Amino acid sequence: MAAEAPGLARAKARKPARVLRAFVASAAVIPLVALVAMVAVLLVEALPAISYSGFGFFTSGVWDIGSLYSNAVRTGGVLHLVGAQYGALWLIVGTLESSALALVIGFPIAYGAAVTIAERLPRRLAAVLSLCLEVLAGIPSVVFGLWGVLVLGPILARDVYPTLAKLPDVPVLDVFRGEVGSGEGLLTAGIVLGIMIIPIIAATTRDLLRQVPTAAKEGAEALGMTKRETFKTVQARWIRSGVFGAAVLGLGRALGETIAVALVTGSEIQNPTNIYDTMTTIAATIVSQLDSALTDPTHLAVKSLAEVALVLLLITLIVNVAARLLVRRSARDVALPVGAGL
């Protein structure tokens, strides 16, 4: 028998507390709702394009909204312009290539910068460099794009690429052979993207390094290890999975970057013939093709852009999930105190 216990009964929540609880709960749900809604809308929007293009969407590289001067026709229930053909192959390839280049170029610089800032430089100089990183992170991407197409691209095409193109014709280095072009293209996009992802990777890595406990480092020093050996033994391993997560963050940014890429790639839907050639990415195509797609009275062009947007979402998702799985596996080998949750 539960007797009435005066003063021990759970107090009824006061009104402000209830309001706050409701607000917090709904705030927690919003990200989930937003994600589901976005996928659902994109999927619904893209359905006609999916049924029209079929698997050819991934195997064809031709992106043609068809003839605007003919009457629309219906194929398999989908209204489209005569000659309309949507193949996203080169967009997907371009997205992956430019992002991979960005990571190859940006990651070593970012890691080196982070190690220098966190481990080598005197405190004041490190603070100044850290500030530079924050500022770099805050530069709008359109500024990066403009700078890339107006300044960096021409300089690279004039002074750097011709030298690169003369590198010996041996494996690895032979990727640099070919017609140099105007400075708008894959390599320039990779470099600009690489610079853009430096701040996020470097800042994350720097913060991870600062979290490595002094006790662990002293353990290595007390064994008579040099600074470099200590770093290899303790810090580098301690932050490994976290750094991997930082790289994925950077990759995610590169995959989705839009305007800067649209400006420096030459925006040509094609498979680049060499590393300097013009190309484009999914995000850049969406922004550069939307205007003309809206002129398609059948709306199939817009729906195809929705489909390719869905593909981009999927790629980003796959990259993130794969990264998490990899990190979890390496964390199982040696349970690292950092980075388990990315």
Partner 1 sequence: MVCHVTVTESGSSRILPSREWAPAATHGEVADPAMQAATLTIGFGAQPVLSSIELPLACQSITALVGPSGSGKTTFLRSLNRMNDKVRHFRLSGRVELYGHDIYGRGVDPLVVRKRVGMVFQRPNPFPMSIRDNVLAGVKVHKVAPRSSYHDLAETHLAEVGLWSAVADRLSDSPYRLSGGQQQLLCLARALAVSPDVLLLDEPTSSLDPVSTEAVEALLVRMKERVSMVIVTHNLAQARRIADRTAFFYEGRLVETGPTEALFESPKRNETARYLNGQFG
* Least CB distance to partner 1 at residue 246 (A): 17
Phi, psi at residue 80, to the nearest 5°? -150, 165
The residue ranges that bind partner 1 (CB under 8 A) are 213, 215-216, 218-226, 229, 233-234, 237-238, 240, 333-337
Q: Smaller CB distance to partner 1: residue 96 or 336?
A: 336
Least Å distance, CB 181 to partner 1, is: 46
Nearer to partner 1, 134 or 229 (CB): 229
Shortest distance in whole angstroms from residue 110 CB to partner 1 = 21
- Residue closer to partner 1 (CB basis): 90 or 111: 111
Taking the complex as a whole, how short is the minimal distance between the CB of residue 221 and partner 1, in angstroms? 7
- Taking the complex as a whole, the smallest distance from the CB of residue 224 to partner 1 amounts, in Å, to 3
Least distance in Å: CB of 213 to partner 1? 7
Q: Which residues contact 289 (CB under 8 A, 6 or more apart)?
A: 63, 301, 305
Closer of 240 and 253 to partner 1 (Cβ): 240
Neighbours of 334 (CB within 10 A): 10
Q: Indicate the residue among 59 and 226 with the shorter CB distance to partner 1.
A: 226
- Looking at the Cβ atoms of 108 and 337, the one nearer to partner 1 is 337
Q: Which is nearer to partner 1, 226 or 292 (CB)?
A: 226
CB of 117 to partner 1, least distance (A): 18
